[in-house]
Amino acid sequence: MMQLSTEERSRGVVTASSGNHALAVALAAKHLGIFAIIVVPTNVSKAKLNKMKEYDIKVIQEGDFEEIYTKAREISTSEGLTYISSYNDLEVIAGQGTIGLEIYEEIGRVDSIIVPVGGGSLISGIAIAVKSFNPNTRIIGVQTGGASTMYESWKARRVVSVEEYHTLAEGLLGGLDPEAITLELIQKYVDELVLVKERSIEEAIRLLWKKEGQIVEGAGATTIAHILEEKRKFVKKKVVAVVSGGNIEDSLFQEILSTEQTSKD
């Protein structure tokens, strides 16, 4: 958003997101003094929606995860606002790639980096940055059966339409633009895409709370879920799991924590 011209800033921006990208745009709009419209699905997480409303932005709840992108683009055209894609944007990808730089500054060389995948900008940016330092670092992307558009598109080597469904990793839901640049980048720089089970995500959420004191939403916990499912793959390896997002509804979080206690009882 800092790359926008003075005229573009004066008109404002619009985006569509299931939550975390929307919060990022809202924060940037506040700091830059830019008007912003955020289109979110009707069933967006209340935790994320409440945080959005803390900013001076316009929030529109309309449709499902597939429909919000069309709505945002319609608003962009009709009102002359700049559309900020959550994934199909080279500037966004470059910004998220700085996480890869931070990993090497903090840790140095690692064997594997595991990243949640929605539209694919996070893993694309990280993979490009990390592979420039060490091509041998294995980059692994994680989705769920309910949010598997990128996974299926990666297998098909083209953007495909997938009927997604409810998942704890709701931050990963959403289809892909037919011309999504992230699919090409993932095919070039990412070594593997995997799907994890919902119960593994629950276990990961509980583990992160119990061992690290971290409250993590389902999308962010998918990377730990993959480690739990494939422990042998990472034995004696230096592994980084990117845990992105802590916007989980308290009622859901408490329910997941209580599930472990109930099973023990």
The pLDDT score that the predictor gives to residue 64 is 80
Q: What is the mean pLDDT of the chain?
A: 93
The pLDDT score that the predictor gives to residue 155 is 97
**pLDDT confidence band for 49 (50 / 70 / 90):** confident
The pLDDT score that the predictor gives to residue 103 is 95
- How far is CA 194 from each of CA 115, 146, 205, rounded to the nearest angstrom? 10, 13, 18
The pLDDT score that the predictor gives to residue 62 is 84
The pLDDT score that the predictor gives to residue 264 is 53
CATH architecture, domain 90-254 = 3-Layer(aba) Sandwich (3.40)
CA distance linking residue 103 with residue 98, whole number of Å: 9
pLDDT digits (tens, 9 = 90+) for 148-201: 999 999 999 999 999 999 999 998 988 898 889 999 999 999 999 999 999 999
CA distance linking residue 81 with residue 75, whole number of Å: 7
Q: Minimal CA–CA distance to 87: which of 50, 122, 39?
A: 122
Mean pLDDT to the nearest integer, 234-255 = 94
Q: Minimal CA–CA distance to 179: which of 257, 85, 99?
A: 85
**pLDDT confidence band for 262 (50 / 70 / 90):** low
Q: Where in the chain is the domain with CATH 3.40.50.1100?
A: 6-83, 90-254
The pLDDT score that the predictor gives to residue 265 is 46
CATH architecture, domain 6-83 = 3-Layer(aba) Sandwich (3.40)
Percentage of the chain exceeding pLDDT 70: 98
The model carries a pTM of 0.91
Mean pLDDT to the nearest integer, 111-121 = 97
Asked if pLDDT for residue 131 goes beyond 90, the answer is: yes
DSSP sequence for 134-168: -TTSEEEEEEESSS-HHHHHHHHTS---------S
The pLDDT score that the predictor gives to residue 198 is 98
The pLDDT score that the predictor gives to residue 65 is 75
